[in-house]
Amino acid sequence: MVARLRFAPSPTGPVHVGNVHTAVFCWALSRALKGDFIIRLDDTDAERNTPEATQLMFDALTWLGLDWDEGPDLGGEFEPYVQSQRWPFHQNVIQKLVDEGHAYYGDDPDQPASASGNPLRLKMPRTGETILHDAIRGEIRFDNGRLQDPVIVRSNGDPLYHLATVTDDHDMGITHVVRGEDWISSTPIHIQLYKAMDWPEPVWVHLPLILNRQGQKLKKRDPEGGYLMSDFQAAGYLPAALFNYLLLLGWTPDNGQEIVDKWEVRQQFRLERLSPSPSTFDWDKLNWMNRQYMQRHSDEKLAELIRPFLEDVYDELPMQDEWLVRLTAVIRDELSKLEDAVEAAEWAFADNFALAEEAQAALQSESAHPVLARLVAELAHVVLLDEATAQSILQGLRQNFKESHGWNPPAIFHPIRAALTGQTGGPPLAEIMAILGKNRTLQRIANALRL
């Protein structure tokens, strides 16, 4: 039997990373089992569903690099792949449940009401246990005496999620149901629907929750913010890095490695390597992982990726490709995500920058004026200020002022760095001067000398 797994989101708003985490695990397990990955829209919440939310979901999955075999966009053997369009299938199940005494209209199973204007309830067993065999957690038992008869069809005739999703999963041949652990409490209803219809149950896989820093379940409108897929894209996280990180929230690769590609996932992903324990979303770990993926890119490719972030903020200078590539090579080690380029490269764009407190102190030091004045004199003889020329000038300043005044390197270089960037730390000075060029370097030194 071919394994068939589905990701069945409800298109009701912005795409949340918790939903995408489920999609990633569905995809990974389907590919590891050499099975099919299906997208189905479970749009039973008619009042909140929007076409825009549907498109956002597809865009997010595509951006993350997931592919699927069947879905609303691709079609397939089990069309339609939109739950609201599958009403005839649901109606057949409703009729059978009523005919065979597994469901009743109204609120009293001993005095069933008419179908008109009344909800349909599933008749749950009153004795014994309903047993959920979960692939991650093992056996979970529910006392049937504590279970209520749930509504499975509204009084207006619309099927609720419980009935619709079980029917669609069976009709589409879904073999593994992968979803969050918050669905465990509803699973007895689904198991009893399978039993009532005499259908084989799928393999149940309830993924652990993802928690925020406060130990709370992530929500679409999480008070911490930043957990929507649009937030990750706007911050400049690479899709491969986010995909990799989400996999580690509940799965451990065989050899404990943390950087895994899709091929390795296909080879290694197994149910027995999944953890039932909740995972805390670790932003430091994600930033570390994103750095690893950014470092794999050439200067040229990384420059292409950070360009839109810089263009959104800075428009003072034209960003020729060659100049931006050189700038990227200088700042790349400071980046955890693409948006960090805006701050890391501020010195390269903004001539009127604020001075950090330590930079102000450097420019008020005893060495500041003599060093900056000498640098101006040295630059006057330069035609093209490249990195090698800048390095030669700086080495000369260091040697001369050490011999003449006994000043150490910070006393010499901190005023220069403060004048050029407003900071006393950062990329190598020679690289900064080469990026700025002769004229802008001289202009910034002149501004500092006037302070």
pLDDT of 317 strictly over 60: no
Strands (E), 23-175: 36-39, 103-105, 120-122, 129-134, 138-143, 151-153
Among the listed ranges 50-54, 71-75, 103-107, 145-149, which one has the minimum average pLDDT value?
50-54
Residue among 141, 160, 164, 144 at smallest CA distance from 152 = 160
Active site residue: 96, 123, 217, 220, which one? 220
Cα–Cα distance list, 139 to 124, 181, 271, 380 (Å): 20, 14, 15, 80
3-state secondary structure of 159: strand
The whole-model pTM stands at 0.92
Contact (Cβ atoms closer than 8 angstroms) between residue 394 and residue 375: no
pLDDT at 223: 60
pLDDT in tens, 371-428: 999 999 999 999 999 999 999 999 999 999 999 999 999 999 999 999 999 999 999 9
The yes or no reply on domain 86-207 and CATH 3.40.190.10 is: no
The CATH number of the structural domain formed by 357-449 is 1.10.10.350
C-alpha span between 381 and 5 (Å, rounded): 70
- Taking the C-alpha atoms of residue 308 and residue 302, their distance in angstroms, rounded to an integer, is 11
pLDDT tens profile 241-299? 999 999 999 999 988 889 998 999 999 999 999 999 999 999 999 999 999 999 999 99
Tell me whether domains 4-79+210-283 and 86-207 share a fold: yes
The token pair at 175 is 């073999």
Looking at domain 297-349, does it have CATH number 1.10.8? Answer: yes
Helices (H) and strands (E) in the chain, counts: 18, 11
In Å, how far from its chain's centre is CA 27?
15
Average pLDDT over residues 176-205: 97
CA–centroid distance for 64 within its chain: 8
Range 118-142 average pLDDT: 97
337 is catalytic: no
- b (16+ CB within 10 A) / e for 216-242: eebeeebeeeebbbeebbebbbbbbbb
Q: What are phi and psi of 5, to 5 degrees?
A: -125, 145
The domain 4-79+210-283 is placed in CATH, from the list 3.40.50.620, 3.30.230.10, 2.60.120.10, 3.10.20.520, at 3.40.50.620
Kindly list the domain boundaries of the chain, sorted by start residue.
4-79+210-283, 86-207, 297-349, 357-449
